[in-house]
Structure 1
Amino acid sequence: MEAVAEVPDGPPLHFRWRRRRHEVSRAEGPERIAAEWWRKGPQETAVPTRDYFRVETREGHRFWLFRAGLYGRETSEPRWFIHGLFG
């Protein structure tokens, strides 16, 4: 999935999923989920922070999206994923 946001930590303006472009009309979030800071040891790989968004497209479809990684702090290219769909 590909997404474009107006600001680095903001919700997507539009995203492409299954070769179709979806324009976002409303968005809620982010709800940030971070790894347990007390479990990070020197040998452990860092689990990227996730920002979850509930979005509605212009067509009325609702998606639950998340971005893995924080711009500039954890990665230079965070990745977007679809976590679920709403009926």
Structure 2
Amino acid sequence: MIYPKNFEEKTGFGQIRQMIRKNCLSPLGEYYVDRIRFSNNFEQLSTILDQTEEFRQLLTEESRFPSQDYFDLTPELNRI
């Protein structure tokens, strides 16, 4: 647990979350951004940083990364 409870508010973490949310391409992306929470868990942060680096490399090294036609398949997957 992060102390104090209003840590994110005091540090402006919510503003960062809003800035990220503005760049989302779909409601599903916004859903995930809304779930982002500050963390001090080393393993979790290490994994997230590795994923971020992998995606950064995709964006900078690949010719074109698809940025349209994202569909939220949650309702269909929930029916399975």
Interval containing the TM-score (normalised by the shorter chain): under 0.3
Higher RCO (C-alpha under 8 Å, 6+ residues apart): 2
Whichever of the two has the greater Rg, that structure is 2
Higher strand share: 1
**If the length of structure 2 is used for normalisation, what is the TM-score?**
0.25
Structure whose residues are more often helix by fraction: 2
